[in-house]
Amino acid sequence: MPDQVPGTVEHVLTVHCPEAHGLVSAITSNLTQQGCDIFDVKHFSDRFTDEFFIRCHTVSEAGTATVESLTDGFAPVAEQHDMRFRLVSAQRRTRVLVMVSRFSHCLTDLLHRTRIGELPIEIVAVVSNHLDHKSLVEWHDVPFHHVPVTAETKPLAEAKLLGLVERYDVELVVLARYMQVLSDELTRELSGRCINIHHSFLPSFKGAKPYHQAYARGVKMVGATAHYVTPDLDEGPIIAQRVIPVDHAHTPADLVAVGRDAEMQALSRAVKWHAEGRVVLSGNRTIVLV
């Protein structure tokens, strides 16, 4: 995460509202009147849905603006334009719980990128239905929770997960190749705050063994898709995707190996953008303000 200039404070405002005339001016002038300078702004007007989206990254002299004061000062604009908004400190780190089964590459990548400060998150816990990665997680000084799952015990296992989400005050759950289907109830509870990495370039090759499906189809690219989790398997709003060229000489095992890089890149981008307040849901699509 970029360092904050001494003597200043930074905030991020993300807004979603019905389209209207003069929204950029209304939002940016409000922040300016509250003593903010805006050094990064991304916005989008969706002409099909008549929705407006904006993300403003602001800087103020220390002591002149807080989340509370800016929120109070922005409230009249938000009410006038029926805005849903999130205003946070730019230095805040999203509290993340990571879930993993046997494949460790995405978990390892998230732990490493967090450790070196690339992701504005704190991994507050890791949950797995296997014990394979307990030592890796605890080497990173992150609590590891083994929650085994069978068809019979899934309701109890999901209750334990929700207990951990509450205990650690989790804001985002990340399925880092966690190979269990979440119940409809759990996906609704985590709606908009649970990200999965699917190991194919969706909507191609949903479901099990996508690399074997891709091999059989003779593809010339493999990919990965990070998406929000919904009751419909692998159908949730897409946040980030990556593809990597392959050819006829790649075996299914080669495709699995090549695909790991795409999975790690897609998932880490999705987590970063979510944590930075750059992703806004619009129906079954996302608007990503990067």
Ligand X SMILES: Nc1nc2c(c(=O)[nH]1)N[C@@H](CN(C=O)c1ccc(C(=O)N[C@@H](CCC(=O)O)C(=O)O)cc1)CN2
Using CB under 6 A as the binding criterion, the count of chain residues that bind ligand X stands at 16
CB of 148 to ligand X, least distance (A): 10
CB of 212 to ligand X, least distance (A): 14
CB atoms near residue 188 (< 10 Å): 11
Q: For ligand X, give the closer residue by CB, 120 or 236.
A: 236
Contact 275, 172 (CB under 8 A): yes
Contact 157, 148 (CB under 8 A): yes
Where does this chain touch ligand X (CB under 6 A) — which range of 10-18, 80-88, 175-183, 272-280? 175-183
Catalytic, 234? Answer yes
Q: Is 96 strand, coil or helix?
A: strand
40, 46, 82, 234: the active-site residue:
234
Contact 95, 168 (CB under 8 A): yes
CB of 140 to ligand X, least distance (A): 23
CB of 180 to ligand X, least distance (A): 4
CB of 168 to ligand X, least distance (A): 20
Interaction with ligand X in 19-58: which residues (CB under 6 A)? none
Give yes or no for residue 158 binding ligand X (CB under 6 A).
Answer: no
Contact string 99-118 vs ligand X (x = CB under 6 A): --------------------
Residue whose pair of structure tokens reads 């099909």 in the numeric block: 48
Interaction with ligand X in 180-209: which residues (CB under 6 A)? 180-182, 187, 196, 198, 208
Burial 195-230 (b: 16+ CB within 10 A, else e): bbbbbbbbeebeeeebbebbbeeebeebbbbbbbbb
Q: For ligand X, give the closer residue by CB, 17 or 190.
A: 190
Reported for 109-113, long-range contacts at CB under 8 A and 24+ positions apart, including other chains, are 109/264, 109/267, 109/268, 110/174, 110/176, 110/267, 110/268, 110/271, 111/136, 111/137, 111/140, 111/142, 113/268
Contact 12, 43 (CB under 8 A): no
What's the CA gap between 38 and 10, in Å, rounded?
A: 10
CB of 270 to ligand X, least distance (A): 13
Q: For ligand X, give the closer residue by CB, 148 or 245.
A: 148
Q: For ligand X, give the closer residue by CB, 83 or 172.
A: 172
Q: For ligand X, give the closer residue by CB, 175 or 238.
A: 175
What's the CA gap between 264 and 254, in Å, rounded?
A: 16
From its phi and psi, is residue 39 left (phi > 0), alpha (psi between -120 and 50) or beta? alpha
Among 179, 221, 243, 257, binds ligand X (CB under 6 A): 179
Interaction with ligand X in 219-278: which residues (CB under 6 A)? 229-231, 233-234, 236
The angle at the Cα of 14, spanning 270 to 70, to the nearest 5 degrees, equals 140
Question: Would you tell me which residues interact with ligand X (CB under 6 A)?
Answer: 175, 178-182, 187, 196, 198, 208, 229-231, 233-234, 236
Give catalytic residues, as residue numbers: 234
